[in-house]
Amino acid sequence: MGFPGKGLIDGLRVTAKTLSRRAVTEQYPDVQPELPPRTRGVIALMEENCTSCMLCARECPSWCIYIDSHTETAPSVGEQARERSRNVLDRFAIDFSLCMYCGICIEACPFDALFWSPEFEYAETDIRNLTHEKDRLRDWMWTVPPPQPIDPGPSVIEAEPADSGGPPAGTDGPSDANGSSDANGSPGATGSSGGGDRPAGGGE
């Protein structure tokens, strides 16, 4: 059992240890924090790219994406042309009280309509106000940073110098069928037993 006042002494001991250390308090919101380049804040929408294909809503594990659309038919151009229909986006909303920021919707979108935004200041006093419509999601597109350059990966091993036409290092040049070669690496020439050199197989 501890003696009376032990908790106070332990607390003062911890205070004394940290008293001389540098403060680590973030001066937010007076000083905005420096966010990493790939910060995941909210999800922004580029409405012009959305085709209402519903892939993001179907793949969302939290079921927090709501999409409404209607179909419009464009008149045919020409006698043999067919009428074309397209989906028109009426509503695109994300409930950020349910979103777990997994990014599956961004990966599933085949038309690059969803992007990560570093924006994180969207706190609300009412949880019902965390469902943001397409107008708010489109405004967050202005905060999306440009894409990062592709990392080329480790440096490529320096290529070997180009062949200058000579024999590879450590060899005397190409040999003929008998395994002999001259000093210059030319096949078909052998040294004579006499004082001079002459072509192989040559007579007097």
- Name the nearest CA neighbour of 124 among 40, 42, 39: 42
| CATH fold of the domain at 43-142 | Alpha-Beta Plaits (3.30.70)
pLDDT band per the 50, 70, 90 thresholds, residue 82: confident
Q: Look at residue 204 and tell me whether its pLDDT is greater than 50.
A: no
Share of the chain above pLDDT 70, in %: 74
Share of the chain above pLDDT 90, in %: 42
Contact 64, 25 (CB under 8 A): no
Could you tell me which residues come within 8 angstroms of residue 59 by beta carbon, excluding any fewer than 6 positions away? 104, 105, 108
Neighbour-count burial of 45, counting CB atoms closer than 10 A to its CB (0-12 exposed, 13-18 middle, 19+ buried): buried
- How much is the pLDDT for 202? 47
Predicted confidence (pLDDT) per residue in 169-184, tens digit? 555 555 544 544 444 5
Structure tokens at 183: 């000093």
64 assigned binding-site residue:
no
pLDDT band per the 50, 70, 90 thresholds, residue 166: low
56 assigned binding-site residue:
yes
105 assigned binding-site residue:
yes
Tell me which residue has tokens 């009280």.
97
Predicted confidence (pLDDT) per residue in 42-63, tens digit? 999 999 999 999 999 999 999 9
The mean pLDDT of the chain is 80
